[in-house]
Amino acid sequence: MDTRLNIVVVEDHTRLRNVTVQVLTDFGHHALGLSCAEEVEDALGSFVPDLFVIDIGLPGEDGLSLCSRLRASHPSVGIIMATARSDLHDKVQGYACGADIYLPKPVDVAELLAAVSALARRVKMAARSVSVSVADADTALTLHEQTLQLMGPAHNMSLTQHEALLLAALARAPRQTLEHWQVAQNLGHASDQEPSKSSVEVRVARLRKKLALVSGNAQTLKAIRLQGYKLCVVVRVQ
């Protein structure tokens, strides 16, 4: 299995960011360096990440908030937190926000590469689980994240931004399944607020109707009792 990854390094310290990107590149990965969380969304339009290396102490939106947001929208992506904060509470908070590995600064190069290698097999297998085989290519739907266009054998249709975020997250998730809280966050509900169940169900129903029209298949998005929702059609995200 090819374990080379697309890695985004979010670090505001210019020299450290450049060194980290160079180390990862020298090790055979495709690495992209960003200085703040606010640059992430623009970068993802042309760069599909397998893994993030995130500093907690970022200007503007901090690394913990970014980690939580990325975990909701990209459930299978690898996330390494790198920070000078070594307090146990900070580590627990980092894992609670969705980090896979928490590395204290200064990060040893060998430890960083070992952490990346440890996550490489998992994220690659997750990517393969949502890839489309040649036999399925004619029946798969295609979601263009930048234009919010959903294309399929029966129809093409525009999605709202939150519908596109949710559909992309479902397509990338293990077993194409998201929990209720992940669905709510992708639909724009704040993580610190309890979303209305009826509001979530109405918006999911709208997406389900669009999926049915585009695919010509009525069984596209299934509610799983006490868990969340499962995508039942193949969607390629571009």
Q: Which CATH topology does 6-129 take?
A: Rossmann fold (3.40.50)
Architecture in CATH of 134-237: Orthogonal Bundle (1.10)
pLDDT of res. 20: 94
pLDDT of res. 179: 87
pLDDT tens readout for residues 29-80: 999 999 999 898 777 766 778 899 999 989 989 999 999 888 887 778 899 9
pLDDT of res. 132: 40
Work out the average pLDDT over 171-197: 76
189 confidence band (pLDDT: 50, 70, 90): low
DSSP string covering the chain, please?
-----EEEEE-S-HHHHHHHHHHHHHTT-EEEEESSGGGHHHHTTT---SEEEEESS-SSS-HHHHHHHHHHH-TT-EEEEEES---HHHHHHHHHTT-SEEEESSPPHHHHHHHHHHHHHHHHHHHHHTPPPGGGTTT-EEEETTTTEEE-SS-EEE--HHHHHHHHHHHHSGGGEEEHHHHHHHTT--TTS---HHHHHHHHHHHHHHHHHHHS-S--EEEETTTEEEE-S-EEE-
pLDDT of res. 84: 81
pLDDT tens readout for residues 134-181: 334 456 889 998 889 999 887 888 999 889 989 998 988 888 888 888
What's the chain's average pLDDT? 83
Q: Is pLDDT larger for residue 205 or for residue 42?
A: 205
Map out the domains of the chain as residue ranges.
6-129, 134-237
**pLDDT at residue 188 is higher than 80:** no
